[in-house]
Chain A
Amino acid sequence: MALDPDKIDSAFYDALRQHYSEEEIVELGAFIGFNIGYHTFFGKLKFYPMFAPDGRLVSQEESARIYGAVPGSLAAPQVTRHV
């Protein structure tokens, strides 16, 4: 959906229906779309998780050191599509 939406065609949906109900497919699609939209936005706000992996409340500076300066989602190839 994010990188190669042309691959999501009728055959792709037919394959999905072998594993999921129509309701579950809608649920998955909306969830994935929501995350595609928001991950880039959140990544550009320069904020990091409040808690370290061991559960400690940490400062934003320490969290940046733990989780990295660039969110992984921003390292993906950029979209270049137009209608």
Chain B
Amino acid sequence: MHIEPLAGEQIHDAELLELIRRCEALGVPDALFPRVLARVPDYAKALLRALVVSHAEGNVDHRLKEIIRVRLARTAGDPYFAGLRSARALTAGLDEKTIEAGAGRFEDDPRFTAAEKWALRYAREMYFNPEKIDAAFYAEGKKHFTEAQIMELGAFIAFHYGMQAFTRTLGVRPLPKKGG
């Protein structure tokens, strides 16, 4: 780990502590990345709020966003975010087989709807083949999602991929699960 996280007793900002608690409850991120970010408290609060809100709020299925998030982490080569799982998504029924399918060759997989496949393509092409995201691609997306949902997905993809690019370079790994 190239930048050490702050210890819990070194963090005194109540708003930041509440955000870290919220992250830990969701499971994405765990407490490690927030405590690295906590070295810059104002950044930490803005970034953690954006991570949690973009992932766990809005009007796109949280399970779909969790699959996309894992797929993006693998694209970024980031074992930290790739190794974390949303407790809420798992509680809602998302399993590892579906995550693996969504992070792999999903195009012909019958477990995904046409809408879900478009969202997975959006995440895949954004950083592998951005030239494929053209007017026709957005027109196809509008058959399945509202413009607000497409912005929600795009902002979610961009933000999480960006943070994964950063955490890859920190050399961090998920914390051991409590009791595990």
Contacts and interface: CB of A to CB of B under 8 A. Distances in A.
Interface of A: 1-2, 5, 8, 10, 13, 22-23, 25-27, 29-30, 32-38, 40-46, 74, 78-83
Given A36-B161, A40-B127, A44-B126, 18 more contacts: A1-B166, A13-B2, A22-B3, A22-B4, A22-B39, A26-B37, A26-B40, A30-B43, A30-B166, A32-B166, A33-B166, A37-B158, A40-B158, A41-B158, A45-B154, A78-B128, A78-B130, A82-B74
B127 A79 contact: yes
Interface of B: 2-4, 36-37, 39-40, 43, 47, 73-79, 82, 126-131, 133, 135, 154-155, 157-171
A27 B117 CA distance: 35
20 contacts: A2-B165, A5-B165, A10-B171, A13-B3, A22-B39, A23-B39, A26-B3, A29-B169, A30-B40, A30-B43, A34-B159, A35-B162, A37-B159, A37-B162, A42-B158, A44-B154, A78-B128, A81-B77, A83-B73, A83-B79
Contacts of A2: 165
A81 B75 contact: yes
B157 A83 contact: no
Contact of A26 (B43, B76, B79): B43
Chain B at the A interface: mostly helix, strand, loop or mixed?
Answer: helix
